[in-house]
Structure 1
Amino acid sequence: MTGTAEHTGTRRRGPFLITAGALFVLLFDGNLPTPLYSVYRQRFGFSGTELTLIFAVYMAVLVPSLLVFGQLSDQIGRRRVLIGGLSLGAVGLILLAAAQNTAWLFAGRIAAGIALGATAGTAAAALVELEPGDDKNKAALATVLAQSGGSAAGPLVAGALAEWAPAPRQLSYGVGLVLTVVTAIAVSRLPREQVSGRWRPQRPSVPAEIRTRFARAGLSAATVWAVGGIFLSVVPSYTAQLLHTHNLALLGAVSAMMLAAACAVQAVSVRISLSPQRAQPAGLLALVAGLAALIGAFPAKSLVLVVLAAVLAGSGLGLTYFGAQSEINQLAPGEQRGEVTAAFLTCVYLGVAATAISAGLLSDLYSLPTAIAAVGVAAGVTALGAFGWQLKR
């Protein structure tokens, strides 16, 4: 029996790692443009509002795609949806690499948004089903590490290549394209699933018996990723103003630092067996402290406060998101896992969209430090509200 169990675990570990890799690659691809927007603005001459619209259209297609493809993967299988998402992600990278004007950026981000929407919920559900020991906490760790790690690696790699390598607007997308094609080939070789092959569009839903717990986890995750959205969209520009620098490697590293902190605390959370009920409120408090440091960094002209903000906010994101994803994995019924996971991720990306778009619009109307302060205060108040709800379990 022991030999059989070991063989089964080994057999399933490959598909589990490939699926986690697919999620990592799509987040890596989706965040490659983060440090490059300043380059695009100089070359194509668009405003801060247009930059916000590029981000908004990405979210506008990502959220419906999560809901549609989360259901679809429950019916036709995770493998098919993952291959489709990776293929469309490759198209998005080609469009961005070939961009000649702002319209190409819009097209590339639309393709990337649909690709990530198709892949994110599907991969998260597949990881629960493929985890060799049927451990939902380890599946949650793989999900959040792939998302946070991919989101961190994208701007870090793109910033370094744009600063120190040739073809700053193309090379990082070439790297992403190679990774995406290799990953798609690996996914295509995963075992075929036994599925009905039929799908009827229907209104996404969360089972009534889990809605309260779902809403609490969804609000907490949305709040911490709303702050993550600030770091991935406007904090690089904020840092550039603060330090009077255009070093793309440094600006990409600021976003990566926040998400690297998230990955580190997620790994520690599993190692010490931190429960979702404890991880979420602890993370929300760390997030509030990080926001306070971020808001105070500009008046103080302090890089130290920016770094502290990244570490605290990243730790808060890591703790809270790990706890929320673990709770959703435990709550979701097997036959609706893709649908419920997609609904949860919809909450997450709505939070990202709300702060990133608000900060972009406010920075055009007032100033970037004012926008960061306003959005940061709103996110902090929401985090404190979510913290209070977490304590009322």
Structure 2
Amino acid sequence: MTLGRRGSFFTAAAVAGLALWASGAPTVVYPLYAAEWNVPPTVTTAIFAIYPLVLVPVLIVFGNLSDVIGRRAVILMGLGALGLGSIAFGIAPDLTWVFIGRALMGVGVGLALSPATAAMVEFGGADGASRAGSATTAATATGLALSTILGGLFVQYAPAPMHLSFWVLTGVTVGVAAFTAALPRHTRDEASGPWRPRLPRMPRTERRPFVAGTLGITAAYAMGAIFLALGAQIARELVRSDNAFVDGAIIALSAIVIGVVAIVFRRMPPRTAVSIGPPLAVAGLGLLIVAGAAHSLPAFIAASIVAGAGYSLMFAGGLGLITTTAPTHERAAVISAAYVVAYLVQALAALGLGALATASGLQLALEIGAPVILLLGVAALVVANLGRRAPVAVTPGLGGAAS
């Protein structure tokens, strides 16, 4: 059986969603690791950071592989590594297995995410670039929401709280792989040439939209590091919530807002989205700082909602600016270049926040780290609007160019 265009589009979207599910899967389990193995925030954020640190070299070496051998083959390789990573988490008796599982997840997402994004553009029809941006954002938001809601549910109420959610992730990965195997075969693009490891690249033209888009994605991912690496510990230690399901649901609320905003504003021009997103991110992280200082659960909920809206606009708008300017035969390589920067900064943000939290406490880490991260969003806003009178070739839509 071979999937049609519509089925192929949604299968590629499911792969993107699975990537964020894997990214967020350990989020609500980090406090358990801290309690079980007596580890500080430096270690728990290092568990988070090993994922993008492994993912980046995979993107650098294999970012253009699917442009040559096909989207389906590379996505399946990625899902295989992702499944092995979730199994390692599922049986992990100690931190060593946790780090191995996280590294394998990084390999899997590094292989699968760029070709999945490119496939969505190609199977999306005449307005594929526009649909891919908003659908990728919505799919990744869904994956993240499922990871934290189900993770919180299992941690709070199910047996084997440190392991069960990862076996569920393994099962979902197998299911998505079955649909991926039914994607249409790749028709080789002769312009790609024979495959060889090649650095991800900026497009030869329209570099300003690429830079602005990359800054928008990077700001979103760096902000996401706060919620994914430290969100559950912020809820427990600063907001003083002791229910893992509630904590996971609040973090998931941010993801739900990301998806809703991506769908509702999918026709917003990418440059407008990148311009509106940073002020919302500023407000959201400001509310998070207030939540920690005042031990306020309502402020934490408000921070998740507002920051989620900012993330959605920065990510989808940034991805929109990039995909509409990327040459077809280099699309995955160009998308990979943006992801390399975003994931590398995300890893550095997580490690920096963890070091600050260990040395000076979570609250000070938020007060110092959040403004630094927000500078990236402001830079995206500025670059996107430089020389505004010059036309930018974008398809109208929030993701007019392609978490």
What's the TM-score, normalizing by structure 1?
0.93
Residue equivalent to 2:112: 119
For structure 1, list consecutive stretches of 5 or more residues without a partner in the other structure. Answer: 1-9
Query: 2:73 maps to what in 1?
Result: 80
1:240 aligns with 2:216: no
C-alpha contact (below 8 Å) 2:214/2:338 kept by paired residues: yes
Identity of aligned residues (%): 33
Residue 320 of structure 2 is matched in structure 1 by 326
Equivalent position to 1:71, from 64, 67, 70 = 64
Q: Does 2:257 correspond to 1:261?
A: yes
Question: What per-residue deviation string (whole Å, max 9, x for no partner) do you get for residues 153-205 of structure 1?
Answer: 21111111111122212221111111111111111122211227942112332
Aligned partners of 1:152, 1:93: CA distance in 2, in Å? 17
Q: Residue 36 of structure 1: which of 11, 29, 51 is its match?
A: 29
Structure 1 stretch displaced more, 115-124 or 160-169: 160-169
Helix, strand or coil at the partner of 1:209: coil
The separation in 2 between residues aligned to 1:117 and 1:137, in whole angstroms, is 23
Residue 277 of structure 1 aligns to a residue in which SS? helix
CA separation of 1:140 and 1:174: change in aligned 2, threshold 3 A: same
Give the structure 2 partner of residue 4 of structure 1: none
- The answer to whether structure 1 residue 169 and structure 2 residue 162 are counterparts is yes
Change in Cα spacing, 1:370 to 1:161, as seen in structure 2 (3 Å) is same
Give the structure 2 partner of residue 103 of structure 1.
96
| 1:48 pairs with one of 41, 58, 61 | 41
CA–CA separation in structure 2 for the residues paired with 1:302 and 1:221: 29
Give the conservation status (yes or no) of the 8 Å contact 1:258–1:311.
yes
Deviations 1:301-323 (A, max 9, x none): 22121111111110011112111
The within-5 A match list for 1:109-258 is 109-195=102-188, 198-258=194-254
* DSSP 3-state at the match of 1:208: coil
Aligned-pair CA distance for 1:224: 2.1
SS at match of 1:24: helix
Letter in 1 for 2:198: Q
The alignment partner of 1:206 has SS state of: coil
Is structure 2 residue 323 aligned with structure 1 residue 341? Answer: no
Contact 1:282 1:319 in 2 (8 A): yes
DSSP 3-state at the match of 2:366: helix
1:382 and 1:133, CA in 2 relative to 1: closer, same or farther beyond 3 A? Answer: closer
Aligned partner of 1:6 in structure 2 is none
Q: Distance in 2 between matches of 1:253 and 1:263?
A: 15
* 1:285 aligned to which of 263, 275, 279: 279
Query: Partner of 1:5 in structure 2?
Result: none
Tell me the amino acid that sits aligned with residue 339 of structure 1: A
Match of 1:92 in 2: 85
1:350 maps onto 2:344 in alignment: yes
Which has the larger displacement, 90-99 or 126-135? 126-135
Q: Out of 293, 309, 318, which is 1:315 matched to?
A: 309
1:381 and 2:371 matched: no
- The one-letter code matched in structure 1 to 2:250 is V
After TM superposition, the structure 1 stretch with the greater mean CA deviation from structure 2, 372-381 or 91-100, is 372-381
TM-score between both structures, scaled by the size of structure 2: 0.91
More helix by share: 1
Give, in whole Å, the separation in 2 of the partners of 1:34 and 1:227: 14
Aligned-pair distance for 1:48?
A: 2.2
Aligned to 1:299: 293
Q: Counterparts of 2:238 and 2:46 in 1: how far apart (Å)?
A: 24
Checking the alignment, whether the CA contact within 8 Å between 1:66 and 1:346 is kept in structure 2 is yes
**C-alpha separation in 1, matches of 2:219 and 2:239:** 28
Is 1:20 the counterpart of 2:13 in the alignment? yes
**Stretch moving more, 307-316 or 207-216:** 207-216
Does the CA contact (< 8 Å) of 2:215 and 2:379 recur in 1?
Answer: no
Deviations along 1:3-31, one digit per CA (max 9) or x if unpaired, are xxxxxxx9310111111112212321332
SS of alignment partner, residue 206 of structure 2: helix
Structure 2 counterpart of 1:94, one-letter code: I
Aligned AA (1:278): T
Structure 1: 4+ residue segments shifted above 6 A: none
Which piece of structure 1 moves more, 240-249 or 228-237?
A: 240-249
Aligned equivalents of 2:228, 2:313: Cα separation in 1: 18
CA separation of 1:342 and 1:381: change in aligned 2, threshold 3 A: closer
Distance 2:217 2:197 in 1: 27
Q: Distance in 2 between matches of 1:219 and 1:26?
A: 20
- Give me the whole-angstrom Cα distance separating, in 2, the residues matched to 1:191 and 1:43: 46
**Match in the other structure for 2:393:** none
Distance apart, 1:44 and its partner CA: 2.3
Tell me by how many angstroms 1:77 deviates.
0.5
- Partner amino acid, structure 2, of 1:295: I
Q: Give a deviation string over 1:28-48, Cα, whole Å, max 9, x none.
A: 133211100111222222232
